[in-house]
Amino acid sequence: MGVEKDAFITELTALIEKLEGQVGQYRHAKFGPKSEKLDPAQLELALEDLEAAIAETQEQIAAVEEKIAASETDPEKKAPRKKRKARALPEHLTRVERVIEPGSIVCPCGCGDMVRIGEDRVDRLDYIPARYQVIVTIRPKYACPKGRTGVVQAKAPAHLLESSWPTEALLAQIAVSKYSEHMPLNRQTVVMARLGVPIDRSVLADWMGRTGALIAPVVDHMAVALFWRRKVTTNMSSIVDLRPSERPRP
């Protein structure tokens, strides 16, 4: 058992040295002289890779520490693994409670069923994978059974891209992914194909081009409104900075 413990300690020492080196790389990447010259997106990518590597090494260290504790013959030296600091999840998220009952609550002493005296609750953040669906719009036609009047039918709802597949929600998703999350259309096609919707990149490009042309007036209007709002705010700030005697009188 002593030889095995020594091997664990040697492994732990190597992992700690590895962790110290990774932390040094992280600090150099974040605060070093070259960090200011890097593109912010490239810097974030480099930092997240280092953070993931540090977390992986920390987990390996914790696993070796557990092995060392398990190899201890003295019960007092078997320290339990340190729990991570609990973080509160946002309250607005939907809570799905799953109650796990014991296989039997019959008391071994024969007095009957045991009485519930409390519970342990553990929150875990879950993810429901994105899925695509087809919205089928049905407009029934109605007519007089005796043929005396015409046909009655609801008007077809207006669509941003007429005679095309995508709903406005799908177009918004593609646009946000491309322009806000910097996810090119060719990568989006890979994701969509993996989810069972194989659509060519040129089709997505066509959708984005037509959408951009249709919403251009709205975007221009918003830009003008933002320009005048900033200008008014700047003028008001200039007036406030003036001394009372210099401010324009109403």
pLDDT tens by residue, 41-74: 777 877 888 888 888 888 888 888 888 888 776 6
Given 41, 57, 77, the domain boundary residue is 77
Percent of the chain whose predicted confidence (pLDDT) is above 70: 86
Given 77, 93, 120, the domain boundary residue is 77
Mean pLDDT calculated for residue range 126-142: 91
* Secondary structure (3-state) at 152: strand
Is residue 31 domain-resident?
yes
Is residue 93 domain-resident?
no
pLDDT at 77 over 90: no
Is residue 218 domain-resident?
yes
Is residue 220 domain-resident?
yes
| Residue recorded with tokens 């003036």 | 242
| Residue recorded with tokens 């509160």 | 88
Is residue 134 domain-resident?
no
Is residue 209 domain-resident?
yes
Q: How far apart are the C-alpha atoms of 116 and 99, rounded to whole Å?
A: 13
Handedness of CA 89, 91, 95, 97 (dihedral sign): positive
pLDDT at 36 over 60: yes
pLDDT at 205 over 80: yes
33-37, 95-99, 128-132, 196-200, range with the lowest pLDDT = 33-37
CA atoms within 13 A on the CB side of 9: 8
Given 61, 77, 93, the domain boundary residue is 77
Per-residue confidence (pLDDT) for residue 82, from 0 to 100: 61
Domains: count for the chain: 2
Q: Quick check: 130 and 169 in contact, CB under 8 A?
A: no
Percent of the chain whose predicted confidence (pLDDT) is above 90: 32
Domain span at residue 12 reads: 2-77
pLDDT at 5 over 70: yes
CA angle 169, 170, 175 (to 5 degrees): 100
Q: Which has more pLDDT, 74 or 111?
A: 111
Is residue 172 domain-resident?
yes
Is residue 96 domain-resident?
no
Q: Quick check: 41 and 182 in contact, CB under 8 A?
A: yes
Q: Which has more pLDDT, 128 or 76?
A: 128
Q: What is the b/e burial string over 87-119, where b = at least 16 CB atoms within 10 angstroms of the residue's CB?
A: eeeeeeeeeeeeeeeeeeeeeeeeeeeeeeeee
Q: Which has more pLDDT, 168 or 70?
A: 168
